[in-house]
Amino acid sequence: MDSFEINKILGAILGTCLVLLVTNFTASALFAPKQPEKPGFEIAAKEEASHGKEGAAAAAAAEPIEKLLQTASVEKGASAAKKCAACHTFEKGGPNRVGPNLYGIVDDHRGEDRGGFNFSAAMKAKGGTWTVDELNKFLTNPKAYIPGTAMGFAGIQKDSERADVIAYLNSLADNPKPLPTAAK
């Protein structure tokens, strides 16, 4: 190959690069994108007046759980708890999944002794027992009631559905506890 052929090849490559460069400058001038004032997308979400434990407690206190449990249905609770079955099991001696087995959870210790389940540090630190009232507050908004919990569930917002689930969870025991009644 002689030098004239090499010059033609290099000229074609340089000419192509020059055309691409000019096209890029022209396109940038014609189609300049408008940059947003702040990056990201705005997500429309209902804001609570207060945050943290107080926010979850205030939401749960709208209707006393004792009053809701008087009309709660174990059958409806079993049906509503099907969305929990993706992460939890309900049968006696059942395996842990992403979340612990929930058989006998009512009045059991929080964050311990669920067949070797590895609870989050926040759940262990909270301590206490899963009373009906505590379950109500937790199921309203788990992340607000126990910040740092590994439970990614958004919560059950409907009071009657939450009462049904709690009644169902209470029925899952060798000796189910009597549900609290509302004070007159």
Structure-block tokens of residue 98: 């992403």
Ordered domains of the chain (ranges, CATH): 58-171 (1.10.760.10)
Q: Is the pLDDT of residue 45 over 70?
A: no
Q: Residue 80: its pLDDT value, please?
A: 92
- When pLDDT is averaged across residues 21-30 and rounded to a whole number, the result is 91
Which pLDDT band, with edges at 50, 70 and 90, does 35 fall under? confident
76 alpha-carbon distance from chain centroid = 22
Which pLDDT band, with edges at 50, 70 and 90, does 59 fall under? very low
Q: Is the pLDDT of residue 112 over 60?
A: yes
- When pLDDT is averaged across residues 110-138 and rounded to a whole number, the result is 89
3-state secondary structure 100-144: CCCCCCCCCECCCCCCCCCCCHHHHHHCCECCHHHHHHHHHCHHH
76 closest CA partner among 156, 163, 158, 153: 163
- When pLDDT is averaged across residues 36-55 and rounded to a whole number, the result is 59
- pLDDT above 90: percentage of residues in the chain: 42
Q: Residue 162: its pLDDT value, please?
A: 92
Strands in the chain per DSSP E: none
Q: Is the pLDDT of residue 51 over 80?
A: no
115 Cβ neighbours under 8 A, 6+ residues apart = 95, 96, 100, 101
Q: Residue 50: its pLDDT value, please?
A: 47
Q: Residue 42: its pLDDT value, please?
A: 66
Which pLDDT band, with edges at 50, 70 and 90, does 56 fall under? very low
- pLDDT above 70: percentage of residues in the chain: 86
Structure-block tokens of residue 114: 């669920």
Q: Residue 129: its pLDDT value, please?
A: 92
Q: Residue 43: its pLDDT value, please?
A: 64
Average pLDDT in the chain? 84
What count of Cα atoms within 13 Å lies in the side-chain half-sphere of residue 115?
Answer: 18
Residues 86-103 have pLDDT tens digits of 899 999 988 999 999 999
C-alpha distances in Å from residue 3, one per residue of 12, 14, 17, 135, 177: 14, 16, 21, 85, 96
